[in-house]
């Protein structure tokens, strides 16, 4: 995926803007289905779990778009550093930012109050084990039990559920938020279709961000 993105990024193509717009649109459509009387985005509570990398940036820019449409967005940082542009956009649009050391009880309350949770902790850039560590794991562990409640929030995974193997579908640690919907960018990652990760991906939507032909070229080259 990174190889496919490189020439576009070098030319200044705004791939993150495309990805976040697609993510926001799919989340808005889910809220339209989920909330009574087609209430949709306005006043819907959206909890955004944001990591330090581009996956978190996608989630934060989508959060900004949803907040601009009237959603009540709360950001949960899973790292001391977040994507600067995404965070600035989300806060400017009216999103709230919880402290990094928020208590487990407060995280659980925030999750229970939400209609949708965006999982933007880890993406395809993980080069070691995909298992969550540190604060990211603590946040997910605090929220996981709330997903068994009546009226639990639905999880939208950003590119893939955080904690799964992007290529092999491995799940080395069960501390993973099971997604109702995964919005993946450019092409479907192999791990989303392989167990045990496939059972955590929910419905998969492949968002076109304009790199499909480059992915096809790379795949054809690698088959030779």
Domain boundaries in the chain?
Answer: 17-223
Q: Report percent pLDDT > 70 for the chain.
A: 87
Q: Decide: 116 and 153 in contact? Cβ < 8 Å.
A: yes
The radius of gyration of the chain's CA atoms, rounded to the nearest angstrom, is: 16
Question: What mean pLDDT do residues 43-55 have?
Answer: 96
Q: Residue 62, exposed/middle/buried by CB under 10 A (0-12, 13-18, 19+)? A: buried
Among 3.40.50.10260, 1.10.510.10, 3.30.1330.30, 3.40.50.720, what is the CATH number of 17-223? 3.40.50.10260
Question: What mean pLDDT do residues 53-59 have?
Answer: 94
**How far, in Å, are 45, 184, 187 from residue 131 at the CA level?**
28, 19, 22
Residue 12: the pLDDT is 38
SS3 category, 40: coil
pLDDT (tens digit per residue) in 140-174: 999 999 999 988 999 999 999 999 999 999 999 99
Cα atoms found within 13 Å of the Cα of residue 39, Cβ hemisphere only:
11
In this model, does residue 212 exceed pLDDT 60? no
In this model, does residue 79 exceed pLDDT 90? yes
Q: What are 160's two structure tokens? A: 């893939």
Q: Decide: 223 and 200 in contact? Cβ < 8 Å.
A: no
In this model, does residue 103 exceed pLDDT 80? yes
Residue 8: the pLDDT is 40
- Interatomic CA distance for residues 146 and 9, integer angstroms: 39
**How far, in Å, are 57, 61, 106 from residue 83 at the CA level?**
5, 9, 23
What's the CA dihedral at 88, 75, 117, 212 to 10 degrees?
30
Count H helices and E strands in the chain, helices first: 8, 7
Angle separating helix axes 104-112 and 134-143, nearest 10 degrees: 50
pLDDT (tens digit per residue) in 104-144: 999 999 999 999 999 999 988 776 899 999 999 999 999 99
């Amino acid at each position: 995926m990174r190889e496919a993105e490189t020439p576009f990024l070098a030319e200044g193509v705004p791939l993150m803007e495309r990805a976040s717009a697609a993510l926001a649109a799919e989340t808005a459509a889910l809220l339209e289905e989920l909330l009574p009387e087609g209430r949709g985005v306005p006043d819907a509570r959206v909890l955004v779990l944001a990591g330090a990398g581009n996956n978190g940036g996608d989630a934060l820019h989508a959060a900004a778009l949803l907040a601009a449409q009237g959603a009540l967005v709360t950001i949960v940082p899973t790292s001391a550093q977040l994507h600067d542009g995404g965070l600035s956009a989300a806060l400017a649009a009216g999103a709230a930012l919880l402290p990094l050391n928020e208590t487990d009880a407060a995280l659980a309350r925030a999750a229970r109050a939400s209609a949708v949770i965006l999982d933007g902790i880890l993406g395809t850039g993980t080069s070691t084990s995909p298992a969550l560590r540190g604060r990211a794991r603590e946040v997910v562990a605090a929220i996981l039990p709330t997903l068994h409640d009546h009226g639990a929030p639905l999880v939208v995974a950003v590119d893939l559920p955080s904690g799964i193997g992007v290529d092999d579908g491995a799940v080395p640690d069960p501390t993973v938020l099971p997604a109702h919907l995964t919005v993946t960018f450019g092409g479907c990652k192999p791990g989303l279709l392989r167990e045990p990760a496939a059972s955590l991906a929910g419905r998969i939507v492949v968002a076109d961000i304009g790199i499909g032909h480059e992915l096809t070229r790379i795949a054809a080259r690698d088959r030779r």
